[in-house]
Chains A and B, each alone.
Chain A
Amino acid sequence: MSAPATSRGTLLKVRTALRRNWLHFVLLPLLALWISPLVWILVTSLKTRVEVFDPSAGFLPAVAQWSNYPAAMAVAPFGTYLVNSILATGGILICELVTITLAAYAFARLNFPGKNILFTLFLLQIMFPIYATFLTNFVTVRELGILNSLPALIVPFVASGYGTFMLRQAFRQVPTELADAARLDGCGHLGILWHVYLPLVKPTLVAFSIIAVVTHWNDYMWPLLVTNSESVRTLPIGLGLLAKSDSGADWTRLMAATVVVVSPLLLFFVIFQRRFVDSFMHAGLK
């Protein structure tokens, strides 16, 4: 009697386990599809050239070719590119944080003639795709004589309609009582902005910073247009050059360079995953 009961019990257990976990059966194949390009980058970066083109060579390299990494880095001054990427992205972010904080405070908490028109003008920037303005911006940057310099990489992105909008929404959620209390204590507008508002909208600032860093760190077209010497090129441009110089055939070194270029952001993402996802989701709500 006990044997069939046990098997029925196991069957039931299996069935509930299935019912509880069936989603995994849908998600796991998708997951495999999604991460396979990343796996492929890593695996290829450790192969020999011959293995890449040989379908019978198997999925993993026979011997991991770590030398692909120094070889890829020797093709171009990636150290300089890394510094340029940090300077350009950091420069844009700092400028943006200053401009959007000031503008968002004006829109959220001050009254002045022309407020609605000006706000609409800020929003218009979100609508204008950069691809509609890159030609004339290129002409402007050339006229300013800053072509092929770090400022050329930064100036078009100093003001952000999107950031102003996000931050204004966040400022408006802050109870006015807090600002009134600070004013009674003799705080001016800038003091209130600094001591009351900014600390309270940190998640929004983080979310905006993430979006800005990812966008500008990865930007390809604008740096491609305005830089032509190694001293001001950024990482994505270096990667593109490597692809061209090797006519796309030397996949092993190219993938090694890709790992190097991709890993700073991915590493950052893995470490701050939870906060990253939370702030991103928070930003999505706004």
Chain B
Amino acid sequence: MVTGPALRARIGEAGLAYLLLAPSLVFLAAFTYWPIVRSVWFSFHDVMLGSDKIFFLGWENYERLWTDGLFWKSLANTAFYTLVTIPSAIACALLLAVALDSKLRGMTFYRSAFFYPVMIPSVAAGMVWVFLYAPGYGPINHALALVGLPKLEWLYDSNTAMIAIIIMSIWKYSGYFMLILLAALQMVPSDLYEAARLDGVSAWNRLIHITIPLISPTLYFVVIIGLLHSYQIFDYVYVMTQGGPADATNVLTFYIYQNGFQYQDIGYASTLANVLLLFVGGLITLVALVFGRRVHYLGR
């Protein structure tokens, strides 16, 4: 039973809490929740950018998705990009983190060198890599020629354009994942490794059976962050390929942009945005179901 003064204190506490939350909630409502609701509402309508007229369409925009080959292509491209980039970048980051976890001369320099791409604006990174990939004078083709490999068209060939963007993304994001994993590795008690080493466990087995299980919560966190980051690809597509060649790099985010801002079709673009939301939600749920249970929490 809550009595007079205690009740008043409790109302006071709740009131204060709502007051403290209010600034965040106003902006979250205006720029996160309301846009989602509105996007769903738009998707059932014919809305054109720059026009005030709105017509009800029902499920028409969603039916259009089924027959829109470019939508399926952009969805497949998004999935391909995500499923190749995230595991490769995380594997790369894990190996770097394990290597840099030891006491090595020049550690700070190594860390900085692998981390700096994170700090470079995506538009700058995109342009630099357009240059690096240039078929005629680009240094990458130059290097390929030096070791006797054939030159590639990279961004101008629909077979290699997405691969080119993926390679650049691995360069850009591995350092970020590396730093987070490095922090986790430094929490692993070193006597565990000592004991395993004395028992003659190989370095590879130590990695698989000790390191990875012990840092699995962080690995899980990195996978989720990576999935959420994989939509940064918009900037690269915009700067490097504009979705081309032959829509080989047209991803969902870019296709939304195209429909909304180039074709001014906000209704259809909103429909695509809702699909993107479902795609992200689905992927994260999948990851949670597949990996979430295997995560080991030390001492919990």
Contact = CB atoms under 8 A, between A and B. Distances in A.
Contacts of A227: none
Given A106-B21, A127-B281, A217-B121, A136 B136 contact: no
A81 to B, nearest CB: 12
Given A214-B119, A220-B121, A133 B13 contact: no
A127 B279 CA distance: 11
A218 interface: yes
B94 to A, nearest CB: 13
A225 interface: yes
Interface string A21-53: 101101100110111111011001000000011
Interface string B153-188: 000000000000000000100010001111110110
Contact of A135 (B234, B269, B284): B269
A115 B118 CA distance: 35
10 contacts: A38-B116, A99-B23, A110-B17, A111-B17, A126-B228, A127-B284, A131-B231, A262-B121, A277-B108, A282-B183
B201 interface: no
Given A129-B231, A258-B128, A27 B99 contact: yes
Interface stretch (B63-71, B83-91, B253-261, B291-299): B253-261
Contact of B266 (A135, A140, A155): A135
B171 A111 contact: no
Contact of A136 (B35, B180, B261): B35
Interface string A100-124: 1011011000111101001001101
B287 interface: no
**Most chain B CB atoms below 10 A, which of A34, A41, A131, A220:** A131
Interface in B243-284: 252-253, 256-257, 260-261, 266, 269-270, 273-274, 276-277, 280-281, 284
Contact of A31 (B113, B139, B266): B113
Interface residues on B, range: 35 or more
B115 A277 contact: yes
A36 B274 CA distance: 40
Contacts of A224: 238
Given A243-B127, A243-B239, 6 more contacts: A106-B17, A118-B21, A159-B23, A217-B121, A218-B121, A285-B184
Interface in A125-152: 125-133, 135-140
Interface string B174-210: 0100011111101100000000000000000000000
Contact of B239 (A41, A110, A121, A240): A240
Interface string A9-27: 0000000000001011011
Contacts of A106: 16-18, 20-21
Main secondary structure of the interface of A (DSSP, over half): helix
A135 B35 CA distance: 8
Interface string B98-125: 0110101110101111111111111111
Contact of A121 (B27, B33, B111, B253): B33
Interface stretch (A71-79, A172-180, A268-276): A268-276
Given A121-B28, A214-B118, A40 B131 contact: yes
A113 B253 contact: no
A156 interface: yes
Contacts of A258: 124, 127-128
A26 B102 CA distance: 14
